[in-house]
A and B are shown apart, each in its own frame.
Chain A
Amino acid sequence: MELIDAYVAEVGRRLPEKQRADIEREIRSMIEDTLEDESAAQGRPIDEEMLVMLLKRLGSPEKMAASYAPPAYLVGPALYPSYLFSLKLVLGIVIAAGTLGLVIATAASGLDAQSPFQALEALGKGFFGLINAGLQVVGVMTVVFAAIQRYSPNLKPPAISEDFDPRKLKTAPAPTAEPFSAVGLSLDIVLTIVALVAFNFYQRFIGIYYFSDGEWQVVPVLTAAFFAYVPLMSLLWTLEAILKGSVLAAGGWSLLTKWLQIGLKVLSLGMIYILLSGPDLAAVPTEAIINPGTPEFPAQLNFWINQGLRISLGIALVVSAIETVVNAVKLLLNPGQATPETRNS
């Protein structure tokens, strides 16, 4: 009966090597016993049709093997908590070190870059390098833990403590009105880092772009007065990135981080007020205006650009101030209730 050999071999191929021969022998014995019994019951000799019907009833080799084999894990339940903890730890270190390296490297290349595209290319390479490093860490850690799992198959999950004291449980974080958005926070952090790098190291590439003489030209529009505020803005952005990073690591907003966020919002309002009340922030160089029309046009243009900027900043100041006050009052009245503003902005 070649079909029996083929079926048993197909099942065996899917079984652990140590048990394979024994289980194969048992399945063969079971098939032969069943066929013998059916042959007697039906009053006819064993034939291929009878065997095919039996094998169909037993199920595919995959199904039969699955009923014998224990669940296969790359990293099993005993190791999984350690795997996850180690992965988060190492990944966190690599990403933190990589981000720092990226900022330093892009700063250096930004200073050397001859065009904004070279600078952008350097930044892009840095980001891809960081993603690559992260993926390598995940890969290596998984291989290491899979190897431990493979060669220590009898590992058991940590024993469950019998002297559990419910009073020692950590206080659960205050419930939030809306789901905590890790993606939104991560995006905020990335954008903040991009702004930090751009305003600190690529100042000469911030401006109006136009295509002329076969290549892209840039006209810087922000004044030296604006860039004088960049260190202060950078400090605020850095604090905001650190705060959001800590919220991300903690898995949600706490009362403390919500208040810190409101504090940062108040400092940002102060920053906007300083920008609003200080000298002009933008100036289009006269030489960049190809067809000025009248001699007064450049000055008029700059006046209206700055007026527009001041109106925009004024609106932002008022809206942001109202939001901050509303959020602070809400938080005072109901500390467990988060608002979208304190969560993701």
Chain B
Amino acid sequence: MEQDDVVNNILQELRRGAIVLAVLGLLKEEKYGYAILKDLSDQGLEVDQGTLYPLLRRLETQGLLESRWKLEEARPRRYYVISAGGQAALPALAAEMKKISQIVESILA
């Protein structure tokens, strides 16, 4: 495996945890997939469709999100929103992420 591939794989792993938190944070209000993608991108977190959409489904299966189909502009869109379980889990997840971030920062300083 090339060095670039190794670094890219590690970067993807690093982002994966952050994306979960960012998505849960964004979905305090109902949004459809593409809108989530754009919001994340606007915040500087680039995520490809092949990562985001399966992640949304996985979080829904885990009970952290809820979804429903809505017909808009003659096109069906699936809207996601954080569930009660997701709201309960979010503060602990955010605190842990902050802690990890601080620890890594202090190690790297």
Q: Name A's B-contacting residues (CB within 8 A).
A: 23, 25-27, 29-30, 32-34, 37, 57-59, 63-64, 67-68
Contacts and interface: CB of A to CB of B under 8 A. Distances in A.
Contacts of B48: 57-58
A29 B50 contact: no
A5 to B, nearest CB: 15
A67 B57 CA distance: 11
* Interface residues of chain B: helix, strand, loop or mixed (majority): helix
Contacts of A32: 75
Interface in B59-109: 69, 75-78
Interface of B: 32-34, 38, 48-51, 53-54, 57, 69, 75-78
B38 A27 contact: no
B75 A34 contact: no
8 contacts: A26-B33, A29-B33, A29-B76, A29-B77, A30-B33, A58-B48, A59-B50, A68-B53
A35 B78 CA distance: 17
B50 A33 contact: no
Nearest to A27: B53
Contact of B32 (A33, A63, A68): A33
B49 A25 contact: no
B79 to A, nearest CB: 11
A67 B78 contact: no
B38 A37 contact: yes
B50 A26 contact: no
B1 to A, nearest CB: 18
Contacts of B57: 23, 68
A27 B50 CA distance: 10
Given A25-B69, A30-B49, A37-B34, 17 more contacts: A25-B76, A25-B78, A27-B53, A29-B34, A30-B34, A30-B53, A32-B75, A33-B32, A33-B33, A33-B34, A33-B77, A34-B49, A58-B49, A59-B50, A64-B50, A67-B51, A67-B53
